[in-house]
Structure 1
Amino acid sequence: MQPQITQLKNRWLISSPQLDVTPSWFDAVYWQEQGKILGQSHGRNVTWFVGDEQAPMVLRHYYRGGLIGKLINDAYLFSGLKSSRAYKEFTLLHQLEQLNLPACRAIAAQVVRNGLVYRADLLMKMVDGGRDLVAILTEAPLPCEQWQAIGETIALFHQHKVYHADLNAHNILLDGNDKPCLIDFDRGEIKATAGQWCQDNLDRLLRSFNKEKNKLDRFNFTSQNWDSLMRGYNREIIN
């Protein structure tokens, strides 16, 4: 399915066909004026939860990370709409939806050009009952079966050659039925083949678990938990 693209001067709106998107959808002030700010989360930057309880959405602005992020913050070199991070993530999320993979669902995106650079936003459906794995593990340990399910979910993405550029503990959710779901596919892609990148994904995830354990006073993660995750991963890969 090709996305619907609407250009308004230096602004592009990207959405599913027939969806009547306006620039206000990407403005937190608009949602505030409508009385439809449901909440927000503070990671490296603010992510807004907007809409209503029946159809909650996540509004995310694209920010740079690392040292360059401290200097440029949210501006990216413009080399065409289809090269923008918002367009790429939007189209990838629709591919994941068609593959029926447990990932967040894209609603719309926008890219706004200003000279040589652009800024961008992404609007997604909120995962029903979704809870951040890090937040969960600060409260209580997970059973072995749940760790195995997380491993099986990661393996499912790898079987479809889906590369997650930032697979970490914060980007794994458990939904309202305690089923794992992956979020934040910025810079992700579907690879031509499986390879070393699969192991690199797992290594990055393990580092993130250990980082949280060292940083937080209470974080329920052990080497046995990782072994359970890997059992689930390997079982799904072999099957």
Structure 2
Amino acid sequence: MNNGLQIKTFQQGKSYCLYDSHEINSFVPNMLDVSYWQKKNTITGSAQGRGTTWFVKHSGKPSKQEKHWVLRHYYRGGLIGKIISDSYWFTSQKNTRAAREFDLLTYMQKLALPAPKPIACRVTRHGLFYSADLLSSRIEHAQDLVALLSKTTLSDALWKKIGITIKRFHDNNIYHHDLNAHNILIDKDDNVFLIDFDRGEVRKNDQASWQQANMARLQRSFLKEFNKLPTFHWQDDNWRLLLEGYLSH
């Protein structure tokens, strides 16, 4: 099963790109620039994180229907990010941050996991370094858990569903490098999605160790938001329900 993905490569000058030709009829690398969408007046919003994530719309294949995508430029975190904000040491195309995340999203689509679809990525060489960008599908009518829990409580069934969804990824050996409450989305029908797979990978060794670390990281993120935000509807019993769902599958 390939879920309609038709991955092609495109090279122009110092740029190397991957894109899904099923989603993009006439690909140009500038689609990975925010200015491309600004000129078309098709930016629908943005979100702040390490950098700015842009939400854009596009009318293309297969039936000119409107598609909603997420455009993200890769930025470094930590102290080094203050010095070299968006440059990475180049070793090979396949090992760049963008290509690895694009390939992982492609793999997860083949497994029918609830994660964004890969649309396009671009790696641009700058001598021994590179910068990178990613286009992926936007999860429609969805909010992240932090935004949701800042406003309301979740049902017991939904807490369990979150745990069940995470276990689906773990059962398929999908390691999420930054599993936290911001990277779990719930849509209007209570479907659960995981997003932001930068530095994620397929890990078949030492599953118990990294899976436990993933869950511990998620628990810490709930505690962090609980202690930081004036209103955050989370308590220990919610974590118990999440784990109950996780361990039931």
TM range (shorter): over 0.9
1:31 partnered with 2:37: yes
Match of 1:10 among 1, 8, 14: 14
Relative to structure 2, which stretch is displaced further, 88-97 or 125-134? 125-134
Does structure 2 conserve the Cα–Cα contact (< 8 Å) formed by 1:38 and 1:52? no
Residue 44 (1) aligns with residue 57 (2): no
Superposed, 1:182-201 pairs within 5 Å as: 182-193=194-205, 194-201=207-214
**Deviations for 1:30-82, whole angstroms, at most 9, x for unmatched residues?**
11111101000112211000015931100000000111111111100011111
Structure 2 CA distance for aligned equivalents of residues 65 and 130 of structure 1: 26
Single out whichever of 170-179 and 202-211 deviates more from structure 2: 170-179
Question: Structure 2: which 5+ runs fail to align?
Answer: 60-65
Which segment is superposed worse, 68-77 or 48-57?
A: 48-57
Greater CA drift, 121-130 or 53-62: 53-62
Say whether residues 1:215 and 2:219 are aligned partners.
no
| Uncovered stretches (5+) of structure 1, i.e. residues with no partner | none
Aligned to 1:104: 116
The 2-side partners of 1:10 and 1:229 are apart by 46
Give aligned pairs, total. 236
Q: What secondary structure does 2:231 align onto?
A: coil
Aligned AA (2:73): H
Q: Could you say what the CA RMSD is over the residues aligned between the two structures, in angstroms? A: 1.4
How many angstroms does 1:195 deviate by? 2.4
Map 1:71-110 to 2 at 5 A: 71-110=83-122
Amino acid at match of 1:13: C
| CA shift for structure 1 position 160 | 0.5
Corresponding residue SS for 2:103: helix
Residues 77 and 96 (structure 1 numbering): CA distance in 2 closer, same or farther, change over 3 Å? same
Q: TM-score under structure 1 normalisation? A: 0.95
Paired position in structure 2 for 1:153: 165
Counterpart residue identity of residue 135, structure 1: A
Residue pair 1:13, 1:21 contacting (<8 A) in 2 also? no
TM-score scaled by length of structure 2: 0.91
Partner Cα distance (2:21, 2:139) in 1: 22
Q: Return the alpha-carbon distance in structure 2 between the equivalents of residues 186 and 228 of structure 1.
A: 28
Secondary structure in 2 aligned to 1:91?
Answer: helix
SS of aligned partner of 2:44 = strand
User: Runs of 4 or more off by more than 4 Å in structure 1?
Assistant: none
Query: In 2, Cα distance between the equivalents of 1:120 and 1:85?
Result: 7
Question: Which amino acid is 1:29 matched to?
Answer: S
Where in structure 2 are the equivalents of 1:172-191 lying within 5 Å?
A: 172-191=184-203
Which stretch has the larger CA shift, 104-113 or 49-58?
A: 49-58
Q: Distance in 1 between matches of 2:56 and 2:21?
A: 22
Question: Cα distance, 1:26 vs. partner?
Answer: 1.0
Shift in CA distance, 28/17, structure 1 to aligned 2, threshold 3 Å: closer
Q: Is the 8 A contact 1:3 1:91 kept in 2?
A: no
Shift of 1:17: 4.6
Is structure 2 residue 240 aligned with structure 1 residue 234?
no
Aligned to 1:128: 140
Q: 1:165 aligns with which of 165, 169, 177?
A: 177
User: Percent identity, aligned pairs only?
Assistant: 45
Cα distance in structure 2, aligned partners of 1:188 and 1:131: 22
In structure 1, the partner of 2:62 is none
Provide, for residues 92-115 of structure 1, a one-character-per-residue CA deviation record: whole Å limited to 9, x for no partner: 001000000001111000000011
